[in-house]
Structure 1
Amino acid sequence: MAAKGLLSELKLAVPWGYIAAKVWGSQQAPPVLCLHGWLDNASSFDRLIPLLPKDFCYVAMDFGGHGLSSHYSPGLPYYQENFVSEIRRVVAALKWKHFSIVGHSFGGAVGAMFSSIFPEMVNKLILLDTWPFPLDPKGIERVPTYRRGAIEYVLQVEASQKPRQVASPEEMLQRFMKNNSHVSEESARLLLQRGTTKVATGLTLNRDRRIALPVHCMDFVSREQFVNFTKQLRAHVLLIKAMQGYFNVRREDDTNKSIITFVTDTLKSILKERYQYIEVPGSHYVHLNQPETVAGIISAFLQSKETIPHRM
């Protein structure tokens, strides 16, 4: 099932192998980089991009260890900063000087961090049901525990040497949907097309087994750091929050809703007219399950004339 309007598949060389990506539209058009969420892949955008303006070039990449991209070399962990670096490698290979970003969930956090570190490169930043910089509701004090868990998990996986699990297509689908309650069956099948490989007895997942919990990878920031990273942004920012999305069901201990107020108030006070916040009905995967819900909002934002100033 080819995505409508798909121009080509790319493999961009990196020191540990290659980054795989999908391209829609003319590569001479203004570029938009699309970044998928945790454990997803580039097919996350297959139903949204055909609904967006045709006068842009959309590139959806698979992060390392996801989709069709190479896994990191043995012994190397997956941290958020590594994925930020991957964006820099991809845009260098594509020879992009300025571009916009659409990021879902974890991809939005990675894209925002890139936009803060390389602010002169990003014109527009569209965040799909995510914050730009990760804040833990229980505070920055948890980070050492997360880092310890990440290190111990990777060592455990590397020591186990277990063969990859094989499942029938239906078993794989049911398992995927059980672990991803926000994904419709049609969306799940789409993600599994790129996220699995056929073997003699069924399907295996493509993703690197060293990638486990998001908290093991994310670079959590304090509220002070959140403010400072936001101040570095030059991009115009659109945050689309799904009303039945990530922040409603993420973790049992996410009961402190003041964090949502802090994020939206901070972005508004610092970015001012460069910030838009819109709530839409739908789940965490609204861009994939019901792309028509967000396509018009994203299209209008991409087609607006604002660009980043040369100096702030």
Structure 2
Amino acid sequence: MMGLISELKLAVPWGHIAAKAWGSHQAAPVLCLHGWLDNANSFDRLIPLLPKDFYYVAMDFGGHGLSSHYSPGFPYYHQNFVSEVRRVAAALKWNRFSLLGHSFGGTVGGMFSCIFPEMVDKLILLDSSPFALDTNEMDNLLTYKRRAMEHVLQVEASGKAARVVSPEEMLQGFLKNNSHVGEACGKHLLRRGTAQAATGVWLNRDRRITWLEYCLDFVSRELFVHYIKNLQAHVLLINECWWLTAVSFRTE
């Protein structure tokens, strides 16, 4: 059986990117990218079911899981998450690898695969798309982005500490906002998504990332086609119902 090798801590200018690894580091590498507001524990039940002759590394995006939060004033833009993938590849000394992305992680992996096509041999998308296409809500997109930016400014100005609650209250809040996730999976994600305090637990993710519109780049169909033409990777798309089935790690 393939077991977890170790927890990784990769240095970046604002702190570190946390990751966890399975398999032999001599094997073909696969970088696993979790969904928005999730963490690397998203892959704990999947990886043991996959072929054993690969080296799987699941990273926590900045502001998620055990990775460092961005410095105040430094935005969580989509391109910055794409840049994190490049930083992780450099730290691991990977020149070519596969990408496995769930939901938001798929859009990050898709963009990376188009910007650095020579580095990605396979792109696997779970409940995702390589880009966030414009939708019927495009007329409201600027309003969404304005609210997202105002939210970030309010969070930074408030200096308010994260709310500490009991583990059970945290779990029930998670399950309420993620009705398609079972209790066992909820507990599993919260193990990496919370930190211990004297009187309970608190969400360890950065509160600035709770507006998805702030972290996504929406593209037109014309740009979508232009970007896709640059892909060199073999692509596997497993898409039950994008955005509806993906876990949104909200408890508030």
Partner of 2:36: 38
Higher CA-based Rg: 1
What is the aligned counterpart of 2:73 among 54, 72, 75? 75
Indicate the residue corresponding to 1:112 in structure 2. Answer: 110
Q: What amino acid is the match of 1:205?
A: L
Length, aligned pairs only: 247
Give the structure 2 partner of residue 178 of structure 1: 176
Q: Work out whether 1:96 is the aligned partner of 2:94.
A: yes
CA distance in 2, matches of 1:5, 1:23: 9
Residue 61 of structure 1 aligns with an amino acid whose one-letter code is M
Unaligned stretches of 5+ residues in structure 1 = 250-282, 286-312
Distance 1:181 1:74 in 2: 33
Q: Is the 8 A contact 1:32 1:99 kept in 2?
A: yes
Matched-pair contact (CA < 8 Å) for 1:23–1:57: yes
Task: Give the CA deviation at 1:74.
Answer: 0.7
Question: Percent identity between the aligned chains?
Answer: 69
Alignment match, 1:16 = 14
- 1:168: which partner in 2? 166
Greater mean alpha carbon deviation, residues 145-154 or residues 224-233: 145-154
Paired letter, 2:242? Y
What TM-score comes out, normalization by structure 2 length? Answer: 0.94
CA positional deviation for 1:164? 1.3
Q: CA RMSD in A?
A: 1.5
Between the aligned partners of 2:71 and 2:223, the Cα distance in structure 1 is 31
Q: Give the AA of the match of 1:223.
A: R
> Aligned partner of 2:10: which letter?
L
Structure 1 residue 185: deviation in Å? Answer: 1.1
Give per-residue Cα distances to partners, 1:180-231, cap 9 Å, x unaligned: 2222111111100000011110000010011112122100000100101111
Give the corresponding residue for 1:196.
194
Match of residue 250 from structure 2: none
Distance in 2 (CA, whole Å) between partners of 1:42 and 1:140 is 31
In the alignment, structure 1 residue 246 sits paired with structure 2 residue 219: no
CA distance in 2, matches of 1:141, 1:14: 37
Question: Which residues of structure 2 form unaligned runs of 5+?
Answer: 248-252
Counterpart CA distance in 2 for 1:57 and 1:208 is: 29
Looking at structure 1, the residues matched to 140 and 220 of structure 2 have their Cα atoms a distance apart, in angstroms, of 11
2:19 aligned partner, one-letter code: A
Amino acid at match of 1:16: W
TM-score using structure 1 length: 0.76
Quote the Cα distance in structure 1 between the aligned partners of 2:172 and 2:150. Answer: 29
